Amino acid sequence: MLKFAFAGLRAKPASFAGLAVALLLAVLVITLFGSLVVTALGGGGDERLAMIGGAFGEIAMLMALFVVANTLAFSVRQQARELVLLRTSGATPVQIKRLIRHEVLLVTLLVSPPGWLLGGWGARRFLAELVARDLAPAGALVQWSPWPPLAGTAVTLLVGVGATKIAVRRAVGGRPSAAMAQTREEGRTGWLRGLLGLLVIGGTVPLLVLTTRQPLDKAAQLALLGSLLCMTAVGLLAPVLARPAVTLLGLPFRLAGARHRGDGGGALAADNLRGNAHRLSSALIPIALLVGLSTTFAAVTGTLEQVAPPGAYAESDAWLRGVELAMLAGFGAVATVNTLVSLTVARRREYALLALTGATRRQLMRMLGTEATLTAMAGVLLGLLVAAPMSIAFALSATGSALPAVPLPSVGPLVLGAVALTVLTVLLTGTRATAQPAVAAAVTP
């Protein structure tokens, strides 16, 4: 299977690009924050450095897990037809799993050296900034150790192999032709998935209550953890939530479409999205993640700044929060771009079909643009839904009022950025996907 994995990687390197970036990020952040912790433990820093490295590392690893699982799922989906072919040629489910595992192994090993280098460089830069802000003892230097890079690769491999189990479930469960059909048609939302989603929501309730009764620093950490949990619930329930969200947001477009007859771009887009709630939900999840986690973070930070006695909340603390926010946003952006590119490219035949039935390129692009805008708005809506409960719980704990201080200067650009990223990614990918002659795209598999 290692040989097959090699052949696949060599023939279609582009389809592994998203996965490679996600795995690179995972190796990078573990190496970076691992180096800081090792430096602190080795006497090169102090307790605070170990704490900063640990806290950052924790969040980074959770995000890495999410993004790797997300990108791997798309990489497997892109190979769906080849996997069916392998199965009809006699590959067992175990062999298919092994093939995907070997792909993950190869890509991880490939991105490890650059991940180590970038992680090491990042650690030195980060420590220098910390020293400059008096968050680490003066003169502290990153101590070299083989463990952080090794841990980076090992943990990333573990995460990737774990994610493989989830990603291949569809490709090897059931008979091969059914597996192939699932990639083409709209899948049903499993009741198990819905039930799990409700259970996770149930699980956040005690966490909410707990958050309101904790000291500030604990509550802040809990709030972030809680919104990750909310995010998981939204991820599970997204296929159910996606349709009403788009129906609501798409209303203006449908009305506009009804008035300008013959245009149809907007109404077409709204119908397209509503009719394909499953695909839409895959696009919503990373956007909601990006917006939800960052907003929670910004709200917690904003509320903290509000209640802290003057001077106690130093500029350096604000800087730390900013870095953490940037990291969250970075991971979210990688997941968003990867998901949208995969979804848009996968619809190449659909665009070709529209073109053959008389849609102009302009109409196509307008449809894509409207779809992307609607998708982004629905994602933002879900993201704010994710952020709300934990931000409110934290505000109750900090100020006793249910109104968190939401710093608009950081949340505003985030939301706008998420929308812009979505629309730009879809339009750029769409331009490339519709560049080849329609007949060729409709005929080639």
Residues that bind other proteins (CB under 8 A): 3, 7-8, 10-12, 81-82, 85-95, 172-178, 445
Closer CB to other proteins, residue 125 or residue 175?
175
CB of 341 to other proteins, least distance (A): 20
Closer CB to other proteins, residue 48 or residue 175?
175
CB of 296 to other proteins, least distance (A): 40
Which residue is it, tokens 């502290």? 140
Closer CB to other proteins, residue 177 or residue 401?
177
CB of 174 to other proteins, least distance (A): 7
CB of 73 to other proteins, least distance (A): 21
CB of 436 to other proteins, least distance (A): 14
CB of 182 to other proteins, least distance (A): 12
Helix (H), strand (E), coil (C) string for the chain: CHHHHHHHHHHCHHHHHHHHHHHHHHHHHHHHHHHHHHHHHCCCCCHHHHHHHHHHHHHHHHHHHHHHHHHHHHHHHHCHHHHHHHHHCCCCHHHHHHHHHHHHHHHHHHHHHHHHHHHHHHHHHHHHHHHHCCCCCCCCCCCCCCHHHHHHHHHHHHHHHHHHHHHCHHHHCCCHHHHHHHHHCCCCCCHHHHHHHHHHHHHHHHHHHHHHCCCHHHHHHHHHHHHHHHHHHHHHHHHHHHHHHHHHHHHHHHHHHHHCCCCCHHHHHHHHHHHCHHHHHHHHHHHHHHHHHHHHHHHHHHHHHHHCCCCCCCHHHHHHHHHHHHHHHHHHHHHHHHHHHHHHHHCHHHHHHHHHCCCCHHHHHHHHHHHHHHHHHHHHHHHHHHHHHHHHHHHHHHHCCCCCCCCHHHHHHHHHHHHHHHHHHHHHHHHHHCCCCHHHHHHCC
Closer CB to other proteins, residue 177 or residue 360?
177
Closer CB to other proteins, residue 2 or residue 416?
2
CB of 89 to other proteins, least distance (A): 5
Closer CB to other proteins, residue 3 or residue 259?
3
CB of 93 to other proteins, least distance (A): 6
Q: Let me know: does 63 contact 328? Beta carbons within 8 Å.
A: yes
Closer CB to other proteins, residue 2 or residue 117?
2
CB of 352 to other proteins, least distance (A): 16
Q: Let me know: does 354 contact 364? Beta carbons within 8 Å.
A: yes
